[in-house]
Amino acid sequence: MLKNKGKELLFAQWWLLSFVLLSCINHAHAGVTSAFVRHEWPSVDIPLDNEAFAVPKGYNAPQQVHITQGDYDGKAIIISWVTTDKPGSNQVRYGMSDGKYDFTAEATVQNYTFYNYKSGYIHQCLIGGLEYDTKYYYEIGDVNSARKFWFQTPPKIGPDVPYKFGIIGDLGQTFNSLSTIQHYMETGAQTVLFVGDLSYADRYEYHDVGVRWDSWGRFIEQSAAYQPWMWSAGNHEIEYMPHMGEIIPFRNYLHRYPTPYPSSRSSSPLWYAVRRASAHIIVLSSYSPFVKYTPQWRWLAEELKRVDREKTPWLIVLMHVPMYNSNDAHFMEGESMRVVFESWFCHYKVDIIFAGHVHAYERSYRFSNIRYNISSGSPFPAPDKSAPIYITVGDGGNQEGLAQRFKDPQPDYSAFREASYGHSSLEIKNRTHAIYHWNRNDDGKRVPTDSFVLHNQYWGHSRRRRKLKKNHLYSVIVNLPRSQRL
């Protein structure tokens, strides 16, 4: 009898231990839904007479100044600005010393109409042949109202070049938006990767659409005049307004925000690629055709082949609509692009994909759903070491407010999610590691809330890591003085 009770007790202990272990295994990837409740400022646009939209002093002074990378490898810049009264000077004066401009370049000038709004004179100047890792000072405008700015070119492309990117999406022009920009500028990041939905001017009508594009240009100038913002387009840039006679998509956006698409052999400014420091950045358009045989599909197929992970080990993709999203807002809207491109992203071992659209923050584990082909395979996403991490940062602060309803239970692919405003940063350390942060805007403060160490998908492979260590050791030995070699 005692023996039987002992056996039963032993069996019960074994069963309990097995249950605990199995529970741990089943919940090893359990994600976190933040319990933080934001006491948000009103999601309304800042009044036009606020100092955030201040018009610079001086007759016909340049305004809405912003820059972006102008070529494939970071040795060129595109400077854009607007003059309101007349074209004025279309010249950029620049050099390596403040106030001493040894070079000049000429900009193109254009304007356009949108319904009964007529834009100012939009200047766009491509400056090439720049030196890497150099601070340039530039001046634009007529003599009596000239304005001065500066920018820093990126370091020369290389596998171990450190660099820090900021990631912002769905910004708009509210007080929450202002908090995001100001907090971003405290991070020390060197370039913004913008994942679409810029001004939210499409929430206005008639003449006010153009007015709100102008105010947004002045709004971001505090950062965008000094460091490149890499643009991608969202649904709020489409501006299909047939009741106003405006039926050509992206008109305001394309007139104002150029991209270096020809340098990456793209046929459209809506999708393109650049290389910067140790990163290869691919920008896709969620609202342009992308199925098989379309221009974007053909271009991406070729661009992925051009990626050289020996030179630019970090492969980053930007898009507007997230492919993995567990929020009720825009749930599964990225499914069609996922079906087309996800297998490519896994095959080429993309490190990380940034998207916006959903006005909340979410980070995934490395999951994929490439095994399912309608007729066979598991229909559910599964852990996949070759898959990228997907991050949604559509939380810049626009007037539509936060998307506060997440799916319950939290899907296995979702690692962390929170409905709050903020921005992200990705600090590349070398070819193997980068540090990622998401920063919440909390009561006027920047609060680091989600972070992790990102391991490179290409160089993180054990065989390549051993090769890297071997080659590094060899280079150290051959560079030693002969007297110090063993």
Q: Which of 207, 392, 379, 159 is CA-nearest to residue 286?
A: 392
Residue 142 Cα to chain centre, angstroms = 34
Q: Please count the residues of the chain.
A: 486
* Rounded Cα distance, 174 and 400, in Å: 10
Strand ranges (E), 369-468 = 382-383, 389-393, 414-418, 422-428, 433-442, 445-455
CB atoms within 10 A of CB 222: 14
* Rounded Cα distance, 133 and 93, in Å: 19
Residue with tokens 């999601």: 43
| Phi, psi values for residue 333, rounded to 5° | -65, -25
Annotated catalytic residues are: 330
* Rounded Cα distance, 402 and 44, in Å: 12
Side chain identity at 279, as an amino acid letter? A
Q: Is 8 left (phi over 0), alpha (psi -120 to 50) or beta?
A: alpha
CB atoms within 10 A of CB 137: 17
Residue with tokens 């070079």: 103
* Rounded Cα distance, 115 and 330, in Å: 30
* Rounded Cα distance, 79 and 146, in Å: 15
